[in-house]
Amino acid sequence: MVKVTYDIPTCEDYCTLRINAGMSPKTREAAEKGLPNALFTVTLYDKDRLIGMGRVIGDGGTVFQIVDIAVLKSYQGQGYGSQIMEHIM
């Protein structure tokens, strides 16, 4: 069963997810700086494994951007990206 949380993933999990979801890699240093500065984070876990996520970043007042919508390739096409977006919206 896939569990939805609003927790910030570990830098290692984030970097691994990006690569395994077919996205460009990010350095650990970039993840350490960026992840805690998100305004809102949605994560999907299958047991203890991060299988998907999305974040909202912005200035906290007038500008917001949805970023890092990622789902592991083996979980793609099953509605998890839509589920992430529903929780963000």
Residue in the structure block whose two tokens are 């991060």: 50
DSSP class of residue 6 equals -
Across residues 73-80, what is the average pLDDT?
97
For residue 54, CA distances in Å to 10, 35, 51 come to 14, 11, 11
Q: In angstroms, how far apart are the furthest CA atoms of the chain?
A: 37
Task: Identify the CA nearest to 80 among candidates 41, 49, 38, 51.
Answer: 51
Say what the pLDDT of residue 67 is: 97
Domain that holds residue 45: 2-88
Q: Which amino acid is residue 28, in one-letter code?
A: R
Domains in the chain, number: 1
Say what the pLDDT of residue 15 is: 97
9-49 tens-digit pLDDT: 999 999 999 999 999 999 999 999 999 999 999 999 999 99
Give Cα 81 to chain centroid, integer Å: 10
Q: What is the CATH number of the domain that holds 49?
A: 3.40.630.30
pTM of the model: 0.91
42-70 tens-digit pLDDT: 999 999 999 999 999 999 899 999 999 99
